[in-house]
Amino acid sequence: MQRAGFDVLAAIDFNSEAVDTLCANLSDQEHPGFSPVRHPLERDLTKFSPKDLASIIGTDRVDVIVGGPPCQGFSTARQVDGSNHGERLKDDPRRHLYREFLRHVGFFQPKVFVMENVLGIRSASGGEYFRRVQKEARKLGYRVLPKIEDCVSLGVPQKRRRQLFIGTRQDLPEYFRANLQPAPRAPKCTTLWEAIGELPPMEAGAGQETAPYDMAQRREFRANHDDRYLMKVLEVGACPALTAHRARPHSERDLRDFQKLHEGENSQEAIRRGVNFEFPYDKTTFKDRYTRQHRSEPCSTIVAHLSKDGLMFIHPTQNRSLTPREAARIQSFPDWFEFPVARTHQFRLIGNAVPPLVGEAVGIAVRSYIKSNMKENKRSKPDTLIPQSETEAVGWLVPVLYIDRNTLKNVAEEDFKRAWTSIAFLFARLHPDGALEHGTHTANDAADYSPVSSLEPRLVNPYYEQSGWPVLLEPVAGEAWRRYEKGDLKDQDFYCSDAQMAGMTLRRSALV
Asked if pLDDT for residue 425 goes beyond 90, the answer is yes
DSSP 199: S
Banded model confidence at residue 287, pLDDT cuts 50, 70, 90? low
Query: What mean pLDDT comes out for the span 189-197?
Result: 97
Q: In the chain, pLDDT over 90 holds for what percent of residues?
A: 76
Other Cβ atoms within 10 Å of 240 Cβ, number: 9
pLDDT at 173: 85
Residue 165 reports pLDDT greater than 90: yes
Name which of 178, 59, 45 is nearest 109 in CA terms. 59
Task: Give the pLDDT of residue 28.
Answer: 58
User: 34: pLDDT confidence band, cut at 50, 70 and 90?
Assistant: confident
Q: Check residues 47 and 375 and name the one with the higher pLDDT.
A: 47
pLDDT at 101 exceeding the cut of 50? yes
482-494 mean pLDDT: 95
Q: Does residue 261 have a pLDDT over 60?
A: yes
* Distance linking the first and last C-alpha atoms of the chain: 37
Q: What is the rounded CA–CA span in Å between residue 414 and residue 406?
A: 17
Res 89: pLDDT: 39
Q: Whole-number mean pLDDT of the chain?
A: 90
Is the predicted pLDDT of residue 383 greater than 90, yes or no? no
What is the reported pTM?
0.90
* pLDDT of 326 over the 60 cut: yes
Task: For residue 277, give the DSSP letter.
Answer: -
Cα gap 467→46, rounded to integer Å? 28
Using the predicted structure, report yes or no on whether residue 319 has a pLDDT greater than 50. Answer: yes
Work out the average pLDDT over 70-75.
Answer: 57
The pLDDT value recorded for residue 428 is 87
pLDDT band at 451 (very low <50, low <70, confident <90, very high): low
Query: SS3 of 152, please?
Result: helix
Confidence of residue 450 (pLDDT cuts 50, 70, 90): low
Q: What is the mean pLDDT of residues 70-89?
A: 48
* Chain Cα centroid distance, residue 123: 16
Confidence of residue 283 (pLDDT cuts 50, 70, 90): low
Question: Which one-letter DSSP state was computed for residue 109?
Answer: -
Q: Which residue has the higher pLDDT, 30 or 370?
A: 370
pLDDT of residue 374: 78
The pLDDT confidence band at residue 33, using thresholds 50, 70 and 90, is low
**Spatial contact of 331 and 355, defined as CB atoms under 8 Å apart:** yes
Residue-range domains of the chain with CATH: 10-185+356-374 (3.40.50.150), 390-506 (no CATH)
Kindly tell me if the per-residue pLDDT of 254 is higher than 80. yes
- pLDDT beyond 60 at 301: yes
Tell me the pLDDT band of 88, cut-offs 50, 70 and 90.
Answer: very low
pLDDT at 9 over 60: yes
Across 390-414, average pLDDT: 94
* Rounded average pLDDT over 269-293: 83
Query: Looking at this protein, which amino acid is placed at residue 296?
Result: S
pLDDT score of 231: 97
pLDDT attached to residue 35: 81
Beta strands 10-13; 39-42: pairing state: parallel
Using left for φ > 0, alpha for ψ between -120 and 50, and beta otherwise, residue 264 falls in left
pLDDT digits (tens, 9 = 90+) for 224-249: 999 999 999 999 998 999 999 999 99
pLDDT of res. 289: 82
* pLDDT at position 36 over 90: no
pLDDT at residue 91 is higher than 90:
no
Residues 42 and 13: beta-carbon distance below 8 Å: yes
